[in-house]
Amino acid sequence: MRWIVFLAAVSLSAQTGENVLLVVNANDARSREVGEYYKQKRSVPAKNVCVIQAVADEEIDWTAYEQSIERPIGECLKRSALQEKILYIVTTLGVPLKVKGAGTGMVAEYASVDSELTLLYAKLKGQKFPRPGTVPNPMFMRRDEPLQHARFPIYLVTRLAAYDVPEVKGMIDRALIARNRGVFVLDLDSADDRDGNSWLRTAAILLPNDRMFLEESEKVATLHKDVIGYGSWGSNDSKRKFRDIGFQWLPGAIATEFVSTSARTLKRPPDNWTYGPWQDRLHFFEGSPQGLAADLIHQGATGAAGNTYEPFLHLCVRPDYLFPAYYHGRNLAESYYIATPALSWQGVVLGDPLCSLGKP
C-alpha cells in the first residue's frame, strides 16, 4: 500500500528527555510531584525543567496566559539555549488548561493553553499570530516527514494529566513499556458515510486486517481485549449511555473521540455521573453533558485527545492519520499532531510525547 511505502522511507529517530521541556507550576503540589516523577523516568535534564508561577485555576484569561505561562516558558528556552533542541513541551497536572476569550464559532478567541503553546517556537523567531480563529498546523497530514523545526516551526505540546497524580504516574509507567501489539478498535455511530465515519473507515483500510476491529453498526463497541488504539464518537454516539466501555487496554494504548468539550476539565466527576441530553442541565458536569477524555486515562489508556471548547468536527483529531502513524512507529506526540488540522485552537493531548510502540 502507498502508506507503507512512504513510512518505510522515513527515518524515525528516537527522541529522548533531552528533547523535552517539562513545565511545572510551582504553585501546585500535583504539578511538582508529576514533574519530578517524569523527570526521573525519562531522564529529563535539570535545565529542561521550566518552573512557572501560575494560578492553579483551569481557566485563565489572555493576560494571565501571556504573563505567567507563555512568557516564562519562552524565557526558559532562551536562557538555556534550548529553542532548537526542544521538540516537545510537556505541561503537567496543575498548569492552567484553557484560555477564555471573546467571539464565537470559527473566530473565537478562546483556546487550550497547550494548543496555543505550539506557536511559541515561531513567536520566539518574531512571528505574530492573530488571536481569533485557528492557525493551520504545518504538520497535519505530513505522515512521511520526520519532525524538524526547519520543516515544522512549532513545538508539539502534550500534557501529563489525569484525574489525580497516581493516574498520571500510571500513564507514564505504561508509556515506558509500550509495545507494538494489540487491536485498534474503530467504532462508527451508524452505517452512514458522513465525515467522522468515513475517517474511521479509512483508518481501518490503512491498518492491517489482523490488527483492527471495525464496528460499522449502531452498536457500541464494548468489552474488547488487548486494545492499543480506540476511535469513536464517544458520548456523541446516541447509543452510548455509559462512560466505561469495559476495554482491556494495553500499555501504550491511545484514543480519540469526536466530542466537543472532552478536555473542558480534569476534575473527576462523581462515579454515578453519566451522559445526558443538553436539555437536562441539572445533570451537567462542569458545564456540559458530554464525555471526558480523562475518563479514557482513568480506564487504562496511555494517551487521549480532547477539546477544551467547541472545535467543530472538521478540526478534531483525524483517526485516519493518527492510528496508522502510531502503528508505523511515530511517537505519541507526532502521531497526534500529524492528525491535528489546526493550532491555536481547542486541542489537548494527554500523554507522554515520547511514548512509542516501535516499528511493527
Q: What pLDDT digit, counting tens, does each position of 35-48 carry?
A: 999 999 999 999 99
> Does residue 206 belong to any structural domain of this protein?
yes
Q: Do 188 and 232 reside in the same domain of the chain?
A: yes
> Does residue 84 belong to any structural domain of this protein?
yes
Q: Is the pTM here over 0.75, yes or no?
A: yes
C-alpha distances in Å from residue 83, one per residue of 78, 147, 154, 260: 6, 14, 10, 32
Structural element, H or E, at residue 204: helix 197-206
> Does residue 2 belong to any structural domain of this protein?
no
In eight-state DSSP terms, residue 115 is H
From first to last of its 360 residues, the chain has per-residue pLDDT tens of 334 333 433 444 579 999 999 999 999 999 999 999 999 999 999 999 999 999 989 999 999 999 999 999 999 999 999 999 999 999 999 999 999 999 999 999 999 999 999 999 999 999 999 999 999 999 999 988 999 999 999 999 999 999 999 999 999 999 999 999 999 999 999 888 889 999 999 999 999 999 999 999 989 999 999 999 999 999 999 999 899 999 999 999 999 999 999 999 999 999 999 998 899 888 899 999 999 999 999 999 999 999 999 999 999 999 999 999 999 999 999 999 999 999 999 999 999 999 999 999
Number of domains within the chain: 2
C-alpha cell at 137: 498546523
Domain enclosing residue 227, as ranges? 168-342
Q: Do 137 and 201 reside in the same domain of the chain?
A: no
Q: Do 137 and 226 reside in the same domain of the chain?
A: no
Q: Are 97 and 331 in contact (CB under 8 A)?
A: no
Q: Do 216 and 326 reside in the same domain of the chain?
A: yes
Partners of 111 in beta bridges: 99
Q: Are 42 and 352 in contact (CB under 8 A)?
A: yes
Q: Do 273 and 320 reside in the same domain of the chain?
A: yes
Q: Do 231 and 328 reside in the same domain of the chain?
A: yes
CA-CA distance, 357 to 323, in Å (whole number)? 11
Q: Are 212 and 186 in contact (CB under 8 A)?
A: yes
C-alpha distances in Å from residue 22, one per residue of 190, 222, 252, 313, 332: 41, 36, 20, 30, 16
Structural element, H or E, at residue 210: none
- pLDDT at 3 (0 to 100): 41
- Which amino acid, residue 53? Q
Q: b vs e for 177-193, b when ≥16 Cβ sit within 10 Å of the residue's Cβ?
A: ebebebbbbbbbbeeee
- pLDDT at 192 (0 to 100): 86
Q: Do 188 and 256 reside in the same domain of the chain?
A: yes
From 112, 128, 159, give the residue that closes a domain.
159
> For residue 164, how many other CB atoms are within 10 A of its CB?
15
C-alpha cell at 331: 511517537
> Does residue 6 belong to any structural domain of this protein?
no
> How far, rounded to the nearest angstrom, does the alpha carbon of residue 358 sit from its chain's CA centroid?
19
Q: Do 336 and 265 reside in the same domain of the chain?
A: yes
Q: Are 353 and 333 in contact (CB under 8 A)?
A: yes
Q: Do 279 and 150 reside in the same domain of the chain?
A: no
CA-CA distance, 91 to 50, in Å (whole number)? 10
Q: Do 177 and 155 reside in the same domain of the chain?
A: no
- pLDDT at 2 (0 to 100): 38
